[in-house]
Amino acid sequence: MSHIVVLGAGVIGLSSALQIQSQGHQVTIIARDFPGPFETVDPRLQIDYTSPWGGAHNRWVPPTNATEEREHAMALRTFARMRELCRNYPAAGITFMPGIEYLEAPSPAYQELNAEKAKILGMEGFRLLKPAELPDDKVKMGFEYNSWCVNPMVYCSFLLRRFGYLGGKVVKKEVRSPVEIFEMRESGRVDAVINASGIGFGDPDVFITRGQTCLVANLCPATVTRQNADGSWSFSVPRNFDGGTIIGGTKEPNNWDPNPSPEVRAALLQNFAGTYPQILAKDNEYQVIADIVGRRPTRKNGMRLEKELTGDGKCIIHAYGPGGRGYELSWGVSEAVAGLLSGHLGLASQNQRPKL
């Protein structure tokens, strides 16, 4: 049995840890931050732990290049795994619901979307909306499909609980580099480290994309996304499980401001109600719970998913930089990580076999 250490307890580290564990390895998760009740996550001290601040929903993106093709394939795998988990574990924090999209200026890839194309892409329940179903004249295209949302801390706590139940160990610790883990006494013998450290330690290709959203108590029956012609967004992500609904949101590369802006909050709430008045149907006003600022761990040209040998047979498998899609891609990423790991362990055991 190999011993694998996963660095990071965000959605990427937790899913990867479970996937590797299912292959029969002993797994330890080492992280500075672990999931806990959302109400207790500190917005200042834990702003760089992105997983609590995500929506989080699945939104299909019609792929236009190799990076997006890879992500789409991982999103499809995640969709299938979420369906299975939702069925088998009703308390996992997952809800399936309609995903509705409105576009003011659809790019060619969106313009080409139709039932046939959507079927090829695996977008279940796809339907183009009729002009009368669009919210206003500025919206040129609309469609819906079946999608899922998670309540992030309910879902991540569920993953952690499964991991512990199946024999996984955890260590709460900040490390200076994944390489340090090979030397730590707590770790024992380590065959490989999975680097799922989110924003992490200064890969020059990694940057943050700030997102401000507002959590409200109002219920929303669908996850709705509007892409405006000026590049701004308006969306809702129902969290359910008493988690309220996220109303978003901004996407601001390299903005490190941790403070929510009241003006932005007012604009987000007003824009969303303009697009989807049903959000106010029951109460006629918003019940605001909290402002949220998060930092999406974004990487130029997509996630880093690769094996690195650092000498002495030490193996690090990188799994970081999912940007705004960490939940959507999580199970696809975990399967890729597990694949890289089996490849490595297979090679390592061949090399260790005594020569005849």
Ligand X SMILES: *[C@@H]1O[C@H](CO)[C@@H](O)[C@H](O)[C@H]1NC(C)=O
Residue 301 interacting entry, from ligand FAD, ligand X, none, C-beta within 5 to 8 Å by type: ligand X
Residue of 2, 5, 6, 10 that binds ligand FAD (CB under 6 A)? 10
Residue of 92, 324, 336, 340 that binds ligand FAD (CB under 6 A)? 324
Torsion angle in degrees (nearest 10) through CA of 259, 263, 264, 268 = 140
DSSP 53: G
CA 211-216-222 angle, to 5 degrees, is: 85
The CA distance from 224 to 97, in Å, is: 10
The CA distance from 240 to 137, in Å, is: 31
Residue of 21, 51, 225, 245 that binds ligand FAD (CB under 6 A)? 51
Chain positions 257 to 316 lying near ligand X, rule: CB under 6 A, are 301, 316
Residue of 6, 8, 20, 239 that binds ligand FAD (CB under 6 A)? 8
> Of 37-45, 191-199, 334-342, 345-353, which segment contacts ligand X by CB under 6 A?
191-199
Instruction: Tell whether residue 200 is a contact of ligand X (CB under 6 A).
Output: yes
- DSSP collapsed to 3 states, 270-299: HHHHHHCHHHHCCCCCCCEEEEEEEEEEEE
Pair 268, 177: CB distance under 8 Å: no
CA distances, 208 to each of 161, 253, 324, 326 (Å): 29, 6, 10, 13
The CA distance from 146 to 130, in Å, is: 18
Instruction: Tell whether residue 99 is a contact of ligand FAD (CB under 6 A).
Output: no
Instruction: Tell whether residue 326 is a contact of ligand X (CB under 6 A).
Output: no
Instruction: Tell whether residue 196 is a contact of ligand FAD (CB under 6 A).
Output: yes
Instruction: Tell whether residue 325 is a contact of ligand FAD (CB under 6 A).
Output: yes
The CA distance from 272 to 277, in Å, is: 8
3-class DSSP state for residue 84? helix
Residue 237 interacting entry, from ligand X, ligand FAD, none, C-beta within 5 to 8 Å by type: ligand FAD
Name the minimum Å distance from CB 252 to ligand FAD.
10
Which residues would be at the binding site for ligand X (CB under 6 A)?
Answer: 64-65, 67-68, 177-179, 195, 197-203, 206, 301, 316, 318, 320
Interacting residues toward ligand FAD by CB under 6 A? 7-13, 31-33, 49-51, 53-57, 174-175, 196-198, 200, 211, 213, 237, 249, 294, 296-297, 320, 322-328
